[in-house]
Amino acid sequence: MEVLSIIVLFVSFFVLLMMKVPVAYSIGISTTLSLLLNIDNLPGITTIAQRMTTGIDSFALLAIPFFVLAGEIMKRGGIANRLINFAKSLVVSLPGGLAYVNVLASMLFGAISGSAIAATSAIGSIMTDRMEEEGFPREFSASVNITSSTTGLLIPPSNILIVYALASGGAASVAALFIAGYLPGILLGVALMGYIAFVAIKRDFSKGDRLPFIQIWTYFRKAFFSLLLLVIVVGGIVAGIFTATEASVIAVLYAAVLALVYGVIKTKDFPSILLTSAKTTAVVMFLICTSMAMSWLFSFEGIPELMSTFLLDQFSNKFIIFLVINVILLIIGTFMDITPAVLIFTPIFLPVVMELGMDPVHFGIVLVLNLCIGLCTPPVGTILFVGSGVANVSVSQVIKPLLPFLAIMVIVLLLILYIPQITMILPDLFGL
């Protein structure tokens, strides 16, 4: 019966996805169908409801709605423009300078908002037209925007790293994951800018005039309090002054005061900001509910043990096992959103990699970066569709210029996978 229930679980899930049923509903329905093969209807449905409820009964998850709200306030509060102007002042004199601005601004705004979608829409809506005026094709601008926005999922504060900490069952702390994400996120941004430099020289993209230091200082001063949020939030968590949940509340208060001081939003705008944030939070939390139920079912059916036994029996080299796991995750990422993928597959693969000596914090960063690639690829790629829509180009137009950027992301993934020091040097330095 166990084999049959596993088959029903995966077949029903993929069939529902192909029928374009929303991911959260697909997860919940397939989980329920599979469990009902083992136990009676009433206790089965009750168990699923219970697991969905207890799955979000976590203090750490309270950080998500507050970080979502902070990101929405920042998105509307004029912070994106200040970050873009500061980034532009640093690299405008380089060939293809605006493309670097796109990457830097996405890194900064994505890190502050904790949302790749927010970075894609906020930065893309501003930068695409500016880049077109400088001679950049819109599809190239969209490709830069799509891939660079994923850096905000690695550079803290990041909601998905909080979700992974929950899925790891306490094996990886939020503080350790936050500090571990810095170097991989920066490495990804630098690698993307390296490819942009190659393209800019090859295509002879235009470059602007070098700005005097006093003007760079002016742009930095205007963006300073926006950048300071990163120091306050992450520094406070790492120093043990407050938890990630408490930091998220501080981020909301700080962002609200900053936005009001900037004068871009008024107090009358907050009801609509709260409503938008509530809708986003509801979608995320429902995904977490159903994903936690499916994750419990995996444990109930013994799937993590089966996967561990299979991989260890089939492959004797741990580096090959790491590669196989990442190939599987790359495939999964193309058709599943990042939040349910982290919640469902962390309990399956984390025991395997830990048995082979990989640190759970290291695996968390690898997992998130891996699934970030899926956000940029069809058929589900959320950021791909948002980025294409913001740039007003079709997905088919974006695919060709996007491929080299995706290749860069895969190369960075392999570097982070096989050189753990890139991820672990900062957590080790801070004793996390």
| Contacts of 363 by beta carbon, 8 Å cutoff, 6+ apart | 172, 349, 350, 353, 354
Q: Tell me which H or E stretch contains 139.
A: helix 138-148
70 lies in some domain: yes
Give the per-residue pLDDT at 206.
64
Report CA dihedral (359, 364, 365, 370) to the nearest 10 degrees.
120
195 lies in some domain: yes
34 lies in some domain: yes
Give the residue from 301, 322, 346 where a domain finishes: 301
Task: Give the whole-angstrom CA distance, residue 369 versus residue 164.
Answer: 12
- Are the C-beta atoms of residues 37 and 19 closer than 8 Å to each other? no
- Are the C-beta atoms of residues 105 and 123 closer than 8 Å to each other? yes
- DSSP character for 204? T
Task: Give the whole-angstrom CA distance, residue 149 versus residue 345.
Answer: 23
Same domain for 240 and 116: yes
Give the per-residue pLDDT at 2.
64
Same domain for 333 and 201: yes
- Enter the pTM of the model: 0.83
Task: Give the whole-angstrom CA distance, residue 310 versus residue 306.
Answer: 6
Give the residue from 257, 280, 301 where a domain finishes: 301
Burial pattern 248-281, b for ≥16 Cβ within 10 A else e, equals bbbbbebbbebbbebeebeeeebeebeeebeebb
- Domain housing 31: 1-55+288-301
How many Cα neighbours within 13 Å face the side chain of 281? 19
Same domain for 189 and 74: yes
229 lies in some domain: yes
Same domain for 336 and 235: yes
Give the residue from 301, 325, 359 where a domain finishes: 301
Same domain for 30 and 123: no
The structure tokens 């200040």 sit at 82
| Contacts of 414 by beta carbon, 8 Å cutoff, 6+ apart | none
- DSSP character for 161? H
Number of domains within the chain: 2
Same domain for 249 and 219: yes
How many Cα neighbours within 13 Å face the side chain of 255? 29
pLDDT tens, per residue, the chain with 432 residues: 467 777 888 888 888 878 878 878 888 888 888 888 878 778 878 888 888 887 777 777 787 788 878 878 877 777 767 777 787 787 777 777 778 888 887 887 766 666 677 777 777 777 787 778 777 888 888 898 889 888 888 888 788 888 898 888 888 888 899 899 989 999 999 999 999 888 888 877 766 667 788 888 888 888 888 888 778 877 887 777 887 788 888 888 888 888 888 877 888 888 988 898 888 788 778 878 888 888 788 777 777 777 777 887 788 788 899 999 999 888 888 877 788 888 888 888 998 899 888 999 999 999 999 999 988 887 767 788 888 887 888 878 888 889 999 999 999 999 999 999 999 999 888 877
Same domain for 74 and 51: no
Task: Give the whole-angstrom CA distance, residue 381 versus residue 16.
Answer: 17
Rg (the chain; Cα; Å): 22
Same domain for 143 and 78: yes
Same domain for 48 and 140: no
Q: Tell me which H or E stretch contains 347.
A: helix 338-355
Task: Give the whole-angstrom CA distance, residue 191 versus residue 407.
Answer: 11
Same domain for 117 and 22: no
Task: Give the whole-angstrom CA distance, residue 360 versus residue 199.
Answer: 37
107 lies in some domain: yes
Same domain for 139 and 77: yes
Task: Give the whole-angstrom CA distance, residue 138 versus residue 131.
Answer: 8
80 lies in some domain: yes
| Contacts of 202 by beta carbon, 8 Å cutoff, 6+ apart | none
- DSSP character for 171? S
Amino acid at 122: A
- Are the C-beta atoms of residues 387 and 398 closer than 8 Å to each other? yes
Same domain for 95 and 45: no
Q: Residue 284 corresponds to which tokens in the numbers above?
A: 């995320």
DSSP output for 381-408: -HHHHHHHHHHT--HHHHHHHHHHHHHH
Burial pattern 11-26, b for ≥16 Cβ within 10 A else e, equals ebbeebbeeebebbeb
Give the per-residue pLDDT at 347.
85
247 lies in some domain: yes
- DSSP character for 265? S
273 lies in some domain: no
